[in-house]
Every structure is written in C-alpha cells, then in structure tokens.
C-alpha cells in the first residue's frame, strides 16, 4: 500500500517537477518526469542529469582502536583489498556469504580516520545489522539518517557542479572529498551508476532542496527518474542487486573478478579469509559453470528479465536477468547468465518470448563506452 511507503526528503520537489512516483525498495520514487524516459536517458548521455538516490544507505564506520583494525575487519567481510585504499579514495565492494554468494554490492571510501559506506536501499537494514555484528568490537557502525544523496551524471556534470563547488574540478574517478557550499558540508565522490562521468553528493537534509534547486538551475541539468537510471546502467553493463547478482551468484560468475584484488587472491598478501573464500578462490582458479554476459536480441523487441535462453538445439542454457531498450545504442539489450560453453561474444542463442523462440547474440559489455575521468 502507498501509505506504507517511505517518502524522500525531496518528495514535494519531485512532484512539483512532474515526477511520476512509483514504489521502489520501500520508497516512493520518481520513475520519470514530463520529458519521459527516452529524453531523460539521452540528456544524461549528452549533458547532465540529476538523480535523487537518497533511498540508498549511508553508513560511517568510526574506529575504536585505529583505522587499520577497522579496515582489516571490514576487509574480512568481502574479497576486496580495503587496506590498500588511500585516504580520499573510494572502491567498489561486495559482501559475500558462506557459500560465495553476494549479499550486496556497495561503495566504500577511506576518509582518513574512518570509512564511509554506501549500500543498496533494499539491503540497507540487513547490511547495517551484518556490519554491526561483524565490526562492533573495532568500530562504531553509525547509520547516517540526516543526509540525502544526489547523483549528478553526464559529460557536463563537472561544468555544472563546479560553478557551485569549484573544488570538484580537481577530482578524478573514485576520488572522495568533503567540500563546502553555502555553509553546508558536502560529501562528494566522483562516481555513479550510469557509465558517465559524474558525482554522488551526500548533503544534510536541511540543505538538500536548496542544492537540488541550485543544480537544476544550471543550463545543463534536468531531473532524471528511475526509468532512465535503469537503462543507463544497463547500457553501461552495471549489475542491479537482486536481479543480475544475488545470494546465489558468485563474483566470478557475475564477471566481477576485477573487484577482487591480488592481495585477496591465492598467493596474495592477505589471501582468503572472507566468507565463501573456498568457492570463490576455486572459481578464480578453474572457472565456473555459468557466466554473466551481454545479449543483443535481433529486431526491435526487448527481451525482459526471466526470459529463458536456449542453445540452437533447444537445450536450456540460461536466462536473462536485466533487459530493455538501450536509447543510446538504438536497439534492445540485455544481460543474463549462460552456460560457460555459450558465453563467447558472437554466440547465437534463442530467447523464448511469449512462447516463440527468437534469436539473440552474446555480446561484449558494456554496450556503451564509459567516460569516467581517470
């Protein structure tokens, strides 16, 4: 029921701007504005789009016994090198379970004397409980409940934000900084979920509306809803938790081995020691039975999530986990899992749509070249 949904601090602003509100991860969220998903998507690729992602979980890990002890304890929760992340830098992480599945994917930053973590909205209660259970001996796990989170994405995001906060121009991809704006303290990372250059900005609730309006006043910026956020991340080949990755998929199956640094692999300085290490390290060594791949359906009709995939001889070999139309690509695109023998780019498969088998080709991902500022 709508009355059970949480509302974003900027709810009234979204409605005033023509936002169509829908349920998502327990919140009322704008799925699109008056321009519509296609125009919002293409505007983000060409200029800059503003997304309200305040439903995400923000958490501070405040050390009790020194930063290194907290970093190592946090590192023990995932197959990622936390200790090597320099002050002022951010990294992608994955909480894993004892069977090597993914509990959630997240971003974490070294902010000098503490860690700042951003987790997915649907998982944040479980994630906070998980961190509290695992980390309370070495740090205070502090949910941040008085700040919103805005994402400004697109090739002109820097130009728009730098007029308000000049210091962002010096940042590079995955840098983090705390910068002032009109007496407010903005927690900024140069990152996002679109494949474009851009920023995520944590702002105190009291200043969130003023900042959003100031950004929307910039000529490059328009508001963007969940619909375009999904098509942008799909073109960029980025996973959506609960769809492309979940507790049954390992980081290796998901093609996320780039997130597992050498120090945590077999022979590394701090190999293993994370939940599911036996399976994950074994898969790194010998491979998996299935892999996440990009998929390009023939024609113009998208193949949606849960579409079954078949080899040419009608053998079932996988399913689609995300699918839709890629406005920048100009064609339907999808991601899914297929048996490893069928995972090479160019492999022809069939997807079952309304009882018919239609051709689809395995593709490299991302579908759209990323434009991060390195």
The predicted-structure confidence for 184-194, as pLDDT tens digits, reads as follows 999 999 999 99
Task: Tell me if the bond preceding 366 is cis, omega within 30° of 0.
Answer: yes
CATH of segment(s) 1-287: 3.30.1360.120
Provide the CA 135 distance to its chain's centre, in angstroms. 24
Judged against a pLDDT cut of 50, whether residue 258 lies above it is answered with: yes
- Parts of the chain belonging to CATH 2.40.30.110: 289-374
Structure tokens at 159: 């130009």
- d(CA 164, CA 180) in angstroms, rounded, equals 9
Structure tokens at 168: 């962002």
Q: Which fold has domain 289-374?
A: Elongation Factor Tu (Ef-tu); domain 3 (2.40.30)
User: How many percent of the chain have pLDDT more than 70?
Assistant: 99
- Pick the residue with more confidence: 300 or 215? 215
pTM of the model: 0.96
pLDDT of residue 1: 43
Q: Band of the pLDDT at 339, cuts 50, 70, 90?
A: very high
Torsion of CA 172, 174, 178, 182, to 10 degrees: 60
- d(CA 37, CA 30) in angstroms, rounded, equals 11
- Parts of the chain belonging to CATH 3.30.1360.120: 1-287
The answer to whether the CB of 297 falls within 8 A of the CB of 364 is no
């Amino acid at each position: 029921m709508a009355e059970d949904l949480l509302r974003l601090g900027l709810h009234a602003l979204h409605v005033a701007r023509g936002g169509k509100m829908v349920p998502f991860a327990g919140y009322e969220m704008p799925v699109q504005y008056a321009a519509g998903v296609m125009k919002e998507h293409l505007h983000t690729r060409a200029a800059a789009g503003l997304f309200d992602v305040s439903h995400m979980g923000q958490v501070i890990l405040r050390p009790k016994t020194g930063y290194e002890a907290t970093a190592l304890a946090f590192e023990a929760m995932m197959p990622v090198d936390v200790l090597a992340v320099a002050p002022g830098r951010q990294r992608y992480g994955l909480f894993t379970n004892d069977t090597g599945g993914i509990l959630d994917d997240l971003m974490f930053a070294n902010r000098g004397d503490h860690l700042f973590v951003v987790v997915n909205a649907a998982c944040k209660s479980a994630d906070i409980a998980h961190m509290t259970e695992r980390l309370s001996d070495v740090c205070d796990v502090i949910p941040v409940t008085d700040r919103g989170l805005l994402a400004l994405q697109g090739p002109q995001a820097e130009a728009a934000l730098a007029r308000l906060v000049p210091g962002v121009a010096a940042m590079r991809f995955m840098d983090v900084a705390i910068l002032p704006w009109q007496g407010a303290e903005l927690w900024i990372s140069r990152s996002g979920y679109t494949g474009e250059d851009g920023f995520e900005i944590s702002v105190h609730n009291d200043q969130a509306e003023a900042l959003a309006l100031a950004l929307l006043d910039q000529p490059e910026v328009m508001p963007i809803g969940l619909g375009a956020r999904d098509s942008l991340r799909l073109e960029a080949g980025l996973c959506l938790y609960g769809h492309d990755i979940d507790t049954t998929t390992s980081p290796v199956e998901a093609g996320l081995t780039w997130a597992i640094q050498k120090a945590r692999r077999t022979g590394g300085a701090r190999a293993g020691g994370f939940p599911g290490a036996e399976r994950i390290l074994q898969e790194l060594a010998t491979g998996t039975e299935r892999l996440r791949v990009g998929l390009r359906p023939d024609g113009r009709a998208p193949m949606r999530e849960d579409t079954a995939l078949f080899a040419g001889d009608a053998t079932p070999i996988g399913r689609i986990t995300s699918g839709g139309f890629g406005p920048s690509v100009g064609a339907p695109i999808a991601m899914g899992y297929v048996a490893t023998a069928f995972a090479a780019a160019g492999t022809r498969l069939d997807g079952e749509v309304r009882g018919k088998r239609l051709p689809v080709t395995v593709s490299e991902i991302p579908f759209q070249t990323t434009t991060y500022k390195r």
